[in-house]
Amino acid sequence: MTKSAITHFLFLVLLVGMSRLVNAQSLSPEAQMLVKRGQAALDKDDFALAIRDLEQARQLAPKNSGVLRPLLLCYLQSGRLNEAVKLGREAVASSPNDTELHHWLGLAYFKVGQNTEAREELQQAENLAVGRSDIHFDLALVLLSQVQYAAAASQLETALRINPSSSLTHLLLGRAYQNTNRTLDAIDQFRSALRIDPNAPLAHYHLGFAYASLGQNPQAIAEYETEVSRTPDSPEVQYQLGRCLLESGDWKSAVTHLQRATELDASHENVFYELGKALLLSGNVVGATGALQRAIALNPTDPSPHYQLARTLDKSGDPVAARKEWQRFAELKKSHQETGGMATGRNQ
């Protein structure tokens, strides 16, 4: 799963159930009516109508937090993020102790990629409202996007102390642990997520990845197969299952899943590289040649596909072409070493 895909998924999770009734005290009767009507439209996800009514209410009460909160949430949920940021800034300036305004401004910053500002606003919300698991959770999302896994884990641990029944929090804590080499702890968290919610999104995938990182391929394959049955159109899940099957010696099954991964997403070199290896081991030299050539086209500076293609061309009886690939592999490997990079992150 790519970082951008991963970030989009996490943000969507934030918005579930965020709509709350607002306090319309100190508003004129007309403004109260507009807020009530706008809130009703917001609850029905009719953002255009909600924004129209709430913007009218804001004209009558420009600094009233009972108007600003739902209007900010409307902008946020409807994707009008620049307006959400602008309104949020103005709102927290006039109501600096309003937890939700800081909270939602932080989410708006997060969505537009201003993670430093998002972190500051969420920390301010955290300081204003001790014991809010959702704020700790949201702050952890920002930290995860900044690759600050240990700090994210700390926030998620706090969130779980407050609300231990959140499967998603267990799942994200497992990811944070996995990325700080706490794999056994990660497995415990993924299992906890599944105990709470057997349908937790991608939990079996993450559990399989953790097992695979420990070299426990049978357990990893079982988890990946479960995930494939649930999300068959995920190229990443198909790829990881195929790769694990390949390492376990089940080349025929590996080819099936790796080919499916290329059908779902033909832009990733690694999938074609692993497919080429699986096809070669299965005796399909022609197919292996095509897959490895595609891997090279996607990333010409990676030595590994050249190494495998040279072996494939040797088997196909084309020593001249094979020699060229051996030479190219040696050149790229030397270039990587001279620049301080690894020749390859894979077993050849």
pLDDT at 13: 46
Please count the structural domains in the chain. 2
Alpha-carbon distance values, 51 to 1, 20, 42, 93, 109 (Å):
35, 15, 8, 21, 20
The CATH number of whichever domain residue 100 belongs to comes to: 1.25.40.10
Q: Which residue positions in the chain have pLDDT lower than 70?
A: 1-25, 338-348
Q: Is 218 helix (H, G, I), strand (E, B) or coil?
A: helix
Does residue 293 form part of some domain?
A: no
| Same domain? 1 vs 114 | yes
Last residue of one domain, picked from the residues 108, 125, 142: 125
Does residue 26 form part of some domain?
A: yes
| Same domain? 98 vs 153 | no
Alpha-carbon distance values, 225 to 63, 206, 221, 244, 262 (Å):
54, 12, 6, 11, 18
Contacts of 210 (CB under 8 A, 6+ apart): 174, 178, 183, 186, 187, 190
d(CA 39, CA 69): 10
Does residue 86 form part of some domain?
A: yes
Structure tokens at 271: 């999938």
d(CA 207, CA 205): 5
d(CA 162, CA 173): 14
Does residue 219 form part of some domain?
A: no
d(CA 348, CA 337): 16
Last residue of one domain, picked from the residues 166, 201, 236: 201
pLDDT at 338: 61
CB atoms < 10 A from the CB of 81, how many? 17
Structural domain including 2 reads 1-125
Contacts of 88 (CB under 8 A, 6+ apart): 72, 101, 104, 105, 108, 121
pLDDT at 345: 47
Last residue of one domain, picked from the residues 155, 186, 201: 201
